[in-house]
């Protein structure tokens, strides 16, 4: 069945690529397993800083990728590693280092019934259709900050006939849970789920999974929101994207999606400037003969 799984992945990648090409009217390339080791930059004659390329490596290979606009879509630990240290002279970038990544533990529990269905006991025990609370849920009475029944919220991916709820709970900050065994983590979360939904006490947990990430979301605390950066940066052609950036959601998947939309808007706002920058740099550095600079912008 491995070939079938690979085919599914290829189809998914093709759909993403087709969507990007349709959106930007350009051919989109994916360079997998390449890591960015350095951000190269320079200044214009007016003193504006701009990125000139990215040093990319894969095993023993190395290349410099050049574009007109660069988007860094990272989490907090990732952007800390990527930004050139001299850029911290800007308060804008220095503030990002005040956002500290915290451990996150994600726990999934599969049941033989529907955990969040509290009105109809009979419906909660059948396995032909998903029932319960179809939403992202929050509770102040559990260690996990948010949770959801994925079989309800994302049935295309997680509903399985003959099986019930797939509860996913996110523990953040997950510091107290990092040293615990997976078995103990599952036990603690299972007990808390049953305290929230006593009607599920008779359900059997049939499967579990624990994923621990040492640094992921930033540590939310009073006043930390002030340090979240805008998607547009002091570097003319360098933009940020990620759930930690300034947008209306918390550090989350929804926030990451919204930040991407805002990044796109920021790039659109400075489109004419990026066009002029390309021609100005080409002329200043004599990298192109007259007329060789095209009007098509490229993005990395």
Domain ranges of the chain: 33-100+223-283, 101-217
pLDDT at residue number 35: 93
pLDDT at residue number 24: 53
Give the tokens for residue 116. Answer: 């969040």
Give the tokens for residue 115. Answer: 């955990």
Please state whether the predicted TM-score (pTM) of the whole model is above 0.85: no
Half-sphere exposure of 278 (CA within 13 A, CB side): 19
CB 240, CB 79: distance < 8 Å: yes
pLDDT in tens, 134-166: 999 999 899 998 899 999 999 999 999 999 999
Cα torsion through 268, 271, 272, 278, rounded to 10? 180
How far apart are the C-alpha atoms of 16 and 3, rounded to whole Å?
Answer: 20
Q: Is 31 a residue whose pLDDT tops 90?
A: no
Specify burial of residue 161 (Cβ count, 10 A radius: 0-12, 13-18, 19+): exposed
Give the tokens for residue 243. Answer: 């759930």
Top-level CATH class of 33-100+223-283?
Answer: alpha beta
Cα torsion through 6, 7, 9, 11, rounded to 10? 170
Half-sphere exposure of 85 (CA within 13 A, CB side): 0
CATH topology of domain 101-217: Polyamine Oxidase; Chain A, domain 2 (3.90.660)
pLDDT at residue number 3: 40
CATH topology agreement for domains 33-100+223-283 and 101-217: no
pLDDT at residue number 288: 46
């Amino acid at each position: 069945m491995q070939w079938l799984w690979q085919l599914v992945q290829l189809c998914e990648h093709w759909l993403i690529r087709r969507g990007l090409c349709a959106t930007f009217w350009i051919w989109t390339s994916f360079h997998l397993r390449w890591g960015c080791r350095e951000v190269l930059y320079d200044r214009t004659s007016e003193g504006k800083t701009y990125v000139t390329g990215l040093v990319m490596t894969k095993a023993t290979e190395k290349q410099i990728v050049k574009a007109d606009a660069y988007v860094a879509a990272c989490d907090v630990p990732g952007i800390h590693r990527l930004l050139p240290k001299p850029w911290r002279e800007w308060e804008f970038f220095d503030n990002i280092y005040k956002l500290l990544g915290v451990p996150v533990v994600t726990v999934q529990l599969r049941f033989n019934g529907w955990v969040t269905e509290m009105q109809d006991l009979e419906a909660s025990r059948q396995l032909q259709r998903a029932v319960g609370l179809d939403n992202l849920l929050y509770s102040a009475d559990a260690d996990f900050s948010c949770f959801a029944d994925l079989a309800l919220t994302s049935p295309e991916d997680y509903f399985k006939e003959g099986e019930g709820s797939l509860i996913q709970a996110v523990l953040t900050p997950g510091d107290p849970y990092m040293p615990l065994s997976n078995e103990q983590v599952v036990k603690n979360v299972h007990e808390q789920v049953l305290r929230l939904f006593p009607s599920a006490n008779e359900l059997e947990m049939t499967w579990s999974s624990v994923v621990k990430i040492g640094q992921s979301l930033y540590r939310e605390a009073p006043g930390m929101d002030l340090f979240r950066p805008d998607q547009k940066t002091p570097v003319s052609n360098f933009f940020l994207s990620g759930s930690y950036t300034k947008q209306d959601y918390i550090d989350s998947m929804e926030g990451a999606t919204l930040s991407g939309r805002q990044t796109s808007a920021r790039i659109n706002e400075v489109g004419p400037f990026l066009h002029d920058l390309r021609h100005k740099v080409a002329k200043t550095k004599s990298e192109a003969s007259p007329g060789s600079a095209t009007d098509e912008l490229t993005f990395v």
